Amino acid sequence: MTFATATIPSPTGDLTLIASDTGLAAILWDDDAAMQARYAPRRADPSHPVIAATVRQLDEYFAGRRTTFDLPLDPVGTQFQRDVWRALLTIPYGETRSYADIARAIGRPTATRAVGAANGRNPIPIVTPCHRVIGSNGTLTGFGGGLPNKQLLLALERGEAALL
């Protein structure tokens, strides 16, 4: 399979969108070489229907006009990772959950660290809102796009700023 791709500017830096034949496979920051290597071969195809819909919906999100995404998703991961990523999709816009909350939500209350690891491997950030997961003490914790971008996304969702 060859993945369709497009790179777009965003308030969080350039994002590489990657689509399979069935859905959005990844949103990557340019400095994530390990994840970039997973999605090959690729061809630039900004008119691919999933890529075009993702661009439109991300633009609306960054402008503060979209609170949910309606895209077919095709993330690759273990069953446990996919369970965590599905749980992330249930976190409402503008709200946060702890890693322990996610562990309980997937029926694995002692798997907090494993949830953190799965959250960190989320290939579709922003759309699958891993930025909404924080430490149980309320602190911001790691984010593939960097903590400043996590703060930016959370501020957007609290209505503190439209980014476009």
Tens of pLDDT along 117-158? 999 899 999 999 999 999 888 788 878 788 888 899 999 999
Q: Averaged over 95-124, what is the pLDDT?
A: 94
pLDDT for position 80 = 96
Sheet holding 3-8, edge to edge: 24-29, 15-19, 3-8, 42-44
Q: Which amino acid is at 36?
A: Q
130 is annotated as an active-site residue: yes
pLDDT in tens, 75-87: 999 999 999 999 9
Tell me how far apart the alpha carbons of residues 7 and 140 are, in angstroms, rounded to a whole number: 27
Catalytic residue among 4, 27, 130, 153: 130
Q: Which amino acid is at 55?
A: V
pTM of the model: 0.91
Q: Averaged over 97-126, what is the pLDDT?
A: 94
- Distances in whole angstroms, Cα of residue 162 to Cα of each of 63, 81, 130, 156: 5, 31, 20, 6
pLDDT for position 146 = 82
pLDDT for position 33 = 65
Tell me how far apart the alpha carbons of residues 34 and 118 are, in angstroms, rounded to a whole number: 16
The token pair that represents 9 in the structure block: 């500017």
pLDDT for position 79 = 96
For residue 163, is pLDDT > 60? no
pLDDT in tens, 29-75: 876 666 777 888 899 999 999 999 999 999 999 999 999 999 999 99
